[in-house]
Amino acid sequence: MTSSTTAPAPTWEAPLAGAPLDATVEIPGSKSLTNRLLVLAALAEGPGTLRGALRSRDADLMIRALRTLGARIEVGDHPSTLHVTPGPVAGGTEVDTGLAGTVMRFLPPFAALADGPVRFDGDPEARVRPMLPVLAALRTLGVTVHDPGSSSAELPTHLPFTVEGRGSVPGGAVDVDASESSQFVSGLLLAAARFERGLTLRHIGATLPSLPHIEMTVATLRDAGVVVDDSRDGMWGVAPGPIAARDVRVEPDLSNAAPFLASALVAGGTVRIPGWPTLTTQPGAMVPELLERMGGTYTLADGVLSVTGTGKIHGIDVDLRAGGELAPTFAALAALADSPSRLRGIAHLRGHETDRLAALAREITRLGGQAEETRDGLVITPRPLRGDVVRTYADHRMATSAALLGLGVPGVRVENVGTTAKTLPDFTGMWLRMLGSAS
Ligand SMILES: O=C(O)C1=C[C@@H](OP(=O)(O)O)[C@@H](O)[C@H](O)C1
Ligand SMILES: C=C(OP(=O)(O)O)C(=O)O
């Protein structure tokens, strides 16, 4: 299994904004859409194609895993064009999840269709991310899951684990507590049309994060001809049936666009993102309005989103439950604002790539800021900040939010900026080009 390095990585000097921005930034395909569409293509009735797919560590982990599980995936005339030919789901193999939530939560239900055992493991940081709800659901649905190192009948709560594929999954009804991650729901729904009786899934937790990501799952399933009933809140039904083979284009990743757009508020000037969808299930669709509340303005014309800022940022009180992956960007803006901010509804960020609430509070504090964890979020009170090393904890969004802080604070150095390869391999190149300082 691959693992992220624990040796001290060289730091990257985050550039300070020298002048108001005037940049157009092309953002690669959405991680969430790419990895859903790959899974559905690998379960489809025939060969299909993704265009504009993301190529990053998370997407490539998904590609490698699906290949080992029996799909043929060929790269077309552009690296972002992927031709997928489904095959019988193969067992007797291992899946490296890296640190990708989409791989570790979407593929166990897929592996349950295999003709043999599939062992899952990932990065050291992945071994603490919550897994139990999806594994417990699989057991209820008739699938055996066990700890690869023991003969105990007790369900593993985390990676590593083995899913004993038996060639088919009975399916049926299951209750899932998805309060720690919407991905438990999405993973089960994505494979459910291939279960003999389909699936009826009821969420039983107190809160449900990332609802747009579940809606994205439902939309991609319906686009592939799968019958999904989402007429009752917190319940989803998937009818058994074929998954259509398709030729699909992936939208740009709007969450990855967030730090670039937010730069306009820090540096002043305008940042433009082409290919912004008018209708989308991506939670990044919330970004323009949130930036407006913090002092920016935006327009969407001919598919180009433009955000303009003045360099003056206002604090915000916002429930980010629907788009928790945006929190690191807004925490950085909040630390640079002229009034306090409260980010709410994001307790589940404690199970992301790292405990993001602790990491953001610690790193903002390291720069001289004031940031406190609450039960379900952060309270950030702006203070004058000074440069220092910002630690990233193997978390790509800690790195991009540190870059944003560095636009406004001289001397910010980002530890292991290479962690951005999880979803955006050329992050530093794109950032420098945005600032007009690329060689
Ligand atoms: O399904 C998806 O593609 C995702 C769902 C969300 O996970 P959580 O519900 O665990 O936050 C999000 O944060 C993650 O980046 C991607
Ligand atoms: C939470 C995230 O990723 P993952 O898909 O690994 O959960 C994220 O990208 O912010």
**What per-residue confidence (pLDDT) applies to 6?**
55
| In a shared domain, residues 232 and 141 | yes
For the record, the structure tokens of 173 come out as 């009804």
Q: Residues 289, 307: one domain?
A: yes
Q: Number of folded domains in the chain?
A: 2
The verdict on 260 and 126 lying in the same domain is: no
Same domain for 344 and 213, yes or no, is: no
State whether 337 and 389 are in the same domain. yes
Domain range holding 74? 31-249
In this structure, are 281 and 420 located in the same domain?
yes
CB 100 less than 6 A from any atom of ligand 2:
yes
pLDDT at res. 8: 60
pLDDT digits (tens, 9 = 90+) for 39-51: 999 999 999 999 9
Give the domain CATH number at 19: 3.65.10.10
Q: Report CA(189)–ligand 1 centroid distance (Å).
A: 14
CA-proximal residue: ligand 2, atom 4 (nearest): 101
Residue range 377-403: average pLDDT? 98
Q: Is 5 a member of any domain?
A: no
The answer to whether residue 2 is domain-embedded is no
The verdict on residue 130 lying in a domain is: yes
Q: Which of 249, 267, 289 is the last residue of a domain?
A: 249
Q: Does residue 333 sit in the same domain as residue 350?
A: yes
In a domain, 240, yes or no: yes
The pLDDT value recorded for residue 347 is: 98
Domain end marker among 226, 249, 272: 249
Q: Is 325 a catalytic residue?
A: yes
Q: Identify the domain boundary among 229, 249, 269.
A: 249
Q: Are residues 50 and 158 in the same domain?
A: yes
Q: Both 331 and 219 in a single domain?
A: no
425: in domain: yes
What is the residue-averaged pLDDT of the chain? 96
The half-sphere exposure of 151 on its side-chain side, counting CA atoms within 13 A, is 0
Q: What is the pLDDT of residues 60-74, one digit of tens each?
A: 999 999 999 999 999
Asked if residue 422 belongs to a domain, the reply is yes
Q: Whose CA is nearest to atom 1 of ligand 2?
A: 352
User: Taking the model in full, what pTM does it have?
Assistant: 0.97
- Alpha helix stretches (DSSP H) within 28-100: 31-42, 57-68
Q: Check if 352 has its Cβ closer than 6 Å to any atom of ligand 2.
A: yes
> What's the rounded mean pLDDT across residues 412-432?
98
234 and 297 co-located in one domain? no
Q: Quick check: is 315 in a domain? A: yes
331-379 tens-digit pLDDT = 999 999 999 999 999 999 999 999 999 999 999 999 999 999 999 999 9
Same domain as 416, residue 291: yes
The string of pLDDT tens digits covering residues 122-168 is: 999 999 999 999 999 999 999 999 999 877 778 999 999 999 999 99
Six token digits for residue 111? 């592996």
Cβ within 8 Å of residue 138, ≥6 positions away: 108, 109, 112, 145, 163, 169, 188
Domain annotation covers residue 345: yes
Q: What is the pLDDT of residues 72-128, one digit of tens each?
A: 999 999 999 999 999 999 999 999 999 999 999 999 999 999 999 999 999 999 999
Q: b or e along 175-184 (b: 16 or more beta carbons within 10 Å of the residue's beta carbon)?
A: ebbbbbbbbb
In terms of domains, do 151 and 260 share one? Answer: no
At 10, the pLDDT band (50, 70, 90 cuts) reads confident
Is the confidence at residue 272, as pLDDT, over 90?
yes
Q: Is the peptide bond before 160 cis (omega within 30 degrees of 0)?
A: yes
Is the CB of 182 within 6 Å of ligand 1?
yes
